[in-house]
């Protein structure tokens, strides 16, 4: 016991857990995630228990889903402009009020579409704004060396909430009805908002006064920058200001590759898991078997986050990413042919472990590579690639499963995931990317374009460029 306690204290005093803001963030995430699952149980139960039925439920979910996707780009813009923490805080306050109103409506009787739709729109829009902002907070709290473990621990907390939340939500709804469960969700958003209000990032700290030598250097740099501006700018002047989002979209080859991989992988995965997997289970494993497979999917994702948290950063994350993709592809392809429920459960679990680890690798890669002032917009593009493919993927899978059966979808999806990432290795920007490397601004015509630089090799220009972009 003493040794275990000592290890726990050591973990709190080192790495990402040493940052007070990060510990507060984890507490807020756990509260919010449990509340989200209470809502996920309470809302369908509330609607289906009344006269609305599946049509009303589908309409309300559409009123939530469409604004969420539409506002994701806006969330990236405002997070880069005002900072991720205040945007997340505002979104949580709005959601606490909206769900609180819904809890009151649920306690007074069966709600109508006229009551549910506006609340769903507000919740969806707030969620869309919150999502990209949430990816900007960890880089503002942690050093780049701790970012990978921080992402893994954050994901683990969300997954633990995903395991606890449905059970808590079901128990609340069964015992007290939908209204109290929705009230718990509203309270969880309020708790998250209070936690965010108490978090202070490095950007919130007052700037330290420069040393005399730095002051003179800074003055000289300012004069040089002014002269460069009067002459139309130089490569060094442009680098000091930092790249624009338009430049990153045009020349950020690593971003292009990751976006294509995200599109292909989510097109293959969503329809297979949401349509083909339940149909496969219905044919031979039953509802209990399907529940077991979904549990394995959640537990495997949690295990993948644990592995990522305990592993050391690799020098070439692209190759780790590719190896994990091959494991994912083989495991997914084998699900229908692994010998029944036990074999399928093992395959799903292996897939989820590799997928959970891979997600943390790519998110950390992007957070380090992207200029700090552009993280919100870059992550909003990635989230659009992930979420925007969902309706296409499930529609195609529904049509295909009906005409071809469920089993063929698994090897096709597995091959698509593995091949997409292996093809990405043919791109030099992805293949040669090194852990800790940041994007470097391109030089104007006639200048010498700087190469991507390792994180920390030029901290002063990078810091100044992020501040300039935020202003």
Q: What is the pLDDT of residues 141-191, one digit of tens each?
A: 888 778 788 878 888 888 888 777 877 888 888 888 888 889 999 999 999
Q: What percent of the chain has pLDDT over 90?
A: 13
220 pLDDT more than 50: no
pLDDT tier at 13, thresholds 50, 70, 90: low
* 445, HSE (Cβ side, Cα atoms, 13 Å): 0
Q: What percent of the chain has pLDDT over 70?
A: 81
Rounded to whole angstroms, the Cα distance separating 257 from 261 reads 6
pTM to 2 decimal places: 0.69
pLDDT of residue 209: 52
Question: Span 81-90, mean pLDDT?
Answer: 90
Under 8 Å CB-to-CB from 306, ≥6 apart: which residues?
152, 156
**Residue pair 370/382 in contact by the 8 Å Cβ criterion:** no
pLDDT tier at 52, thresholds 50, 70, 90: low
Q: Which helix (H) or strand (E) holds 81?
A: helix 53-82
Rounded to whole angstroms, the Cα distance separating 403 from 208 reads 66
Rounded to whole angstroms, the Cα distance separating 331 from 318 reads 20
467 pLDDT more than 80: no
pLDDT of residue 101: 93
pLDDT of residue 118: 93
Give 95-122 as a DSSP string: HHHHHHHHHHHHHTSPPPHHHHHHHHHH
Under 8 Å CB-to-CB from 326, ≥6 apart: which residues?
418, 421, 422
15 pLDDT more than 80: no
**Residue pair 416/265 in contact by the 8 Å Cβ criterion:** yes
Based on its alpha-carbon atoms, the radius of gyration of the chain, rounded to whole angstroms, reads: 24
User: Of 366, 369, 372, which is closest to residue 462 (Cα–Cα)?
Assistant: 372
Rounded to whole angstroms, the Cα distance separating 286 from 111 reads 34
Rounded to whole angstroms, the Cα distance separating 312 from 320 reads 12
pLDDT tier at 238, thresholds 50, 70, 90: very low
32 pLDDT more than 70: yes
231 pLDDT more than 90: no
DSSP reduced 3-state for 244 = coil
Rounded to whole angstroms, the Cα distance separating 20 from 388 reads 35
Rounded to whole angstroms, the Cα distance separating 70 from 388 reads 10
370 pLDDT more than 50: yes
- pLDDT by residue (tens digit) across 419-448? 998 888 888 888 888 887 888 765 554 444
Domains, the chain, in order of start with CATH, read 14-201 (1.20.1250.20), 246-438 (1.20.1250.20)
- pLDDT by residue (tens digit) across 188-200? 999 999 999 988 8
For the chain, counts of helices (H) and of strands (E): 20, 2
Question: Span 6-18, mean pLDDT?
Answer: 60
Q: Which helix (H) or strand (E) holds 298?
A: helix 286-310
295 pLDDT more than 70: yes
* Residue 370 dihedral angles phi and psi, to the nearest 5°: -75, 135
Mean pLDDT of the chain: 78
pLDDT of residue 93: 95
Rounded to whole angstroms, the Cα distance separating 55 from 438 reads 48
Rounded to whole angstroms, the Cα distance separating 202 from 142 reads 9
- pLDDT by residue (tens digit) across 331-347? 999 988 988 888 989 99
Q: Tell me which DSSP letter residue 230 carries.
A: H
- Residue 379 buriedness (CB in 10 A; 0-12 / 13-18 / 19+): buried
Under 8 Å CB-to-CB from 417, ≥6 apart: which residues?
264, 265, 268, 269, 325, 328, 329, 332
* Residue 454 dihedral angles phi and psi, to the nearest 5°: -65, 145
Rounded to whole angstroms, the Cα distance separating 238 from 236 reads 5
């Amino acid at each position: 016991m003493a040794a275990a306690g000592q290890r726990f204290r050591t973990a709190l005093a080192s790495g990402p857990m040493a940052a007070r803001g990060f510990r507060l963030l984890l507490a807020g995430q756990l509260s919010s995630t449990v509340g989200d699952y209470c809502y996920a149980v309470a809302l369908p139960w509330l609607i289906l228990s009344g006269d609305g039925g599946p049509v009303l439920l589908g309409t309300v979910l559409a009123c939530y889903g469409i604004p969420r996707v539409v506002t994701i780009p806006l969330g990236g813009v405002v997070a880069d402009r005002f900072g991720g923490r205040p945007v997340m805080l505002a979104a949580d306050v709005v959601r606490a009020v909206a769900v609180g109103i819904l809890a009151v409506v649920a306690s007074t009787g069966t709600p109508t579409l006229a009551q549910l739709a506006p609340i769903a729109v507000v919740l969806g829009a707030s969620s869309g704004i919150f999502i990209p902002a949430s990816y900007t907070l960890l880089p503002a709290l942690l050093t780049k060396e701790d970012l990978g473990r921080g992402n893994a621990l954050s994901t683990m907390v969300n997954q633990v909430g995903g395991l606890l939340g449905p059970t808590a939500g079901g128990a609340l709804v069964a015992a007290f009805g939908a209204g109290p469960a929705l009230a718990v969700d509203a309270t969880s958003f309020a708790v998250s908002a209070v936690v965010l209000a108490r978090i202070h990032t490095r950007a919130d700290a007052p700037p330290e006064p420069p040393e005399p030598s730095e002051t003179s250097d800074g003055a000289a740099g300012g004069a040089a920058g002014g002269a460069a501006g009067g002459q139309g700018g130089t490569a060094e002047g442009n680098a000091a200001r930092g790249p624009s989002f338009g430049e990153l979209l045009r020349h950020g080859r690593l971003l292009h590759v990751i976006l294509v991989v995200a599109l292909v992988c989510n097109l293959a995965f969503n329809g297979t898991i949401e349509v083909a997997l339940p149909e496969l289970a219905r044919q031979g494993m039953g509802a209990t078997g399907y529940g077991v497979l979904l549990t394995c999917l959640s537990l495997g994702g949690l295990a993948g986050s644990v592995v990522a948290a305990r592993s050391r950063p690799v020098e070439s994350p692209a190759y780790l990413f590719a190896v994990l993709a091959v494991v994912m592809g083989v495991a997914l392809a084998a699900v229908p042919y692994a010998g029944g429920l036990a074999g399928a459960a093992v395959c799903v679990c292996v897939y989820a472990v590799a997928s959970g680890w891979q997600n943390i690798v790519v998110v950390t890669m992007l957070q380090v590579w992207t200029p700090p002032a552009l993280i919100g917009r870059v992550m909003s593009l990635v989230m659009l690639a992930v979420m925007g493919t969902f309706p296409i993927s499930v529609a195609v899978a529904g049509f295909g499963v009906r005409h071809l059966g469920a089993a063929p979808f698994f090897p096709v999806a597995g091959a698509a995931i593995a091949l997409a990432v292996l093809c990405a290795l043919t791109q030099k920007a992805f293949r040669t990317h090194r852990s800790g490397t940041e994007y470097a601004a391109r030089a104007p015509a006639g200048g010498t374009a700087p190469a991507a630089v390792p994180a920390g090799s030029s901290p002063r220009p990078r810091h100044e460029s992020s501040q300039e972009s935020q202003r």
